[in-house]
Amino acid sequence: MRAIVVNADQSLSWREVAPPEPKDSQIVIEVHASAVNRADLMQRAGNYPPPPDWPQWMGLEAAGVVKSAPPDSRWQPGDQVCALLGGGGYAEQVALPPELACALPKGLRMQEAASLPEAYATAWLNLRIEAELQAGETVFIQAGASGLGIAAIQLAKLLGAKVITSVGGAHKTEFVQALGADVIIDHHKQSIAEVLAENPVDVALDCVAGPQLGECLKSMKHNGRWVIIATLGGAISEINMNEFFRRGTRLIGSTLRSRSNALKGEIMAALEKQVWPAFSEGRLKPCLHAVLPISEAEQAHDILQRRQNLGKVVLTVK
């Protein structure tokens, strides 16, 4: 089979590699589509190695058809699934624990379904499980037009929250408004901390952090939960600890990729049951910025690198 291999100079080649060898209860999927995540750019640069037991090639999600499954599996050859992966989605086939797969949302195409698992699992883990976001609460979502942002905004609205989000640029502002964001901060023109001071939040999903974090935390509501999932804006911030402890703020660090397959399986089951029907009913929508053949993975990465994407960039394999 073929997969995207990172060459020594960090260029990408779509070339022949050994096919997966499924272990124990694992199933093998024939990949129809995968999708690009910012973590792939870090992995390609050598800064985010895949966890043990996963292929060395990139790809945190895929949609496709089950090629093989053990006799006692929930899955059978021919089933259409989408799956959360520890890696290996940029390939013609991938082996995975069966609990990381779930049925395709009814009515969605493979390329749409491939864009969902990583962003929705991250949004579910952090908004539902870590921050326990409740209906009627206000949530701040950094980078609202990102692949993750579009999922987090839509999930938060589905859960009945008020959404404040940040974007860079007027065209991104219009895009997240159409997704239902209530307050939009164009960080090229406005100070995020100032807008949050006027609109205190209960929960934040933050992939930027950096120097502005301390200022933003100051205006959180009492018993707020601020979840850090990346540090695109920098790793260091100064926090006023008086404000922090008096308000009962909880600062939570979180990564999805390092969680157990058992927890990831629970998240995928929850998405299949509680979130996928909203796609079939048209209450949620996949947002594909671009769909490219997997042989053009370099061009796909370039779109994310330049911060051009409104939503997800998908790679088609079949």
146: contact with ligand NAP by CB under 6 A: yes
Which range touches ligand NAP (CB under 6 A), out of 19-27, 71-79, 230-238, 243-251? 230-238
* 35 bridge partner residues: 314
Least separation in angstroms between CB 265 and ligand NAP:
16
148: contact with ligand NAP by CB under 6 A: yes
208: contact with ligand NAP by CB under 6 A: yes
Binds ligand NAP by CB under 6 A, chosen from 115, 122, 173, 219? 122
Which range touches ligand NAP (CB under 6 A), out of 10-18, 32-40, 87-95, 98-106? 32-40
10: contact with ligand NAP by CB under 6 A: no
- Give the residue with the Cβ less far from ligand NAP, 17 or 230: 230
Binds ligand NAP by CB under 6 A, chosen from 37, 111, 212, 249? 37
Which range touches ligand NAP (CB under 6 A), out of 68-76, 106-114, 146-154, 260-268? 146-154
200: contact with ligand NAP by CB under 6 A: no
Least separation in angstroms between CB 226 and ligand NAP:
14
Please report where in the chains the tokens 């159409």 appear, as a residue: 178
- Give the residue with the Cβ less far from ligand NAP, 76 or 255: 255
Compute φ and ψ for 261, nearest 5 degrees. -60, -30
Q: Which of 130, 126, 171, 131 has its CA nearest to residue 148? A: 126
Binding mask 73-102 for ligand NAP (x = CB under 6 A): ------------------------------
Alpha-carbon distance 130 to 24, whole Å?
Answer: 31
230: contact with ligand NAP by CB under 6 A: yes
Alpha-carbon distance 296 to 10, whole Å?
Answer: 14
304: contact with ligand NAP by CB under 6 A: yes
Instruction: List the helix and strand counts (H, then E) for the chain.
Output: 11, 15
Q: Which of 303, 317, 226 has its CA nearest to residue 38? A: 303
Q: What is the number of other CB atoms lying within 10 angstroms of the CB of residue 136?
A: 10
Cβ within 8 Å of residue 226, ≥6 positions away:
203, 204, 206, 213, 216, 217, 220, 249, 250, 251, 252
Subset of residues 243 to 272 that bind ligand NAP, contact rule: CB under 6 A = 254-256
177: contact with ligand NAP by CB under 6 A: no
167: contact with ligand NAP by CB under 6 A: yes
Stretch (H or E) spanning 278 = helix 276-280
Alpha-carbon distance 196 to 198, whole Å?
Answer: 5
- Give the residue with the Cβ less far from ligand NAP, 148 or 161: 148
* 16 bridge partner residues: 2
Least separation in angstroms between CB 222 and ligand NAP:
26
Cβ–Cβ under 8 Å, residues 265 and 99:
yes
DSSP designation for 129: I
232: contact with ligand NAP by CB under 6 A: yes
Q: Which long-range contacts (CB under 8 A, 24 or more apart) does 289-297 make?
A: 289/313, 290/314, 291/33, 291/111, 291/315, 291/316, 292/316, 294/4, 294/14, 294/34, 294/90, 295/14, 297/4, 297/12, 297/14, 297/36, 297/90
Least separation in angstroms between CB 307 and ligand NAP:
4
168: contact with ligand NAP by CB under 6 A: yes
Least separation in angstroms between CB 297 and ligand NAP:
14
209: contact with ligand NAP by CB under 6 A: no
Q: Which residues contribute to the site for ligand NAP (CB under 6 A)?
A: 37-39, 122, 143, 145-148, 167-168, 172, 207-208, 229-230, 232-233, 254-256, 304, 307, 309
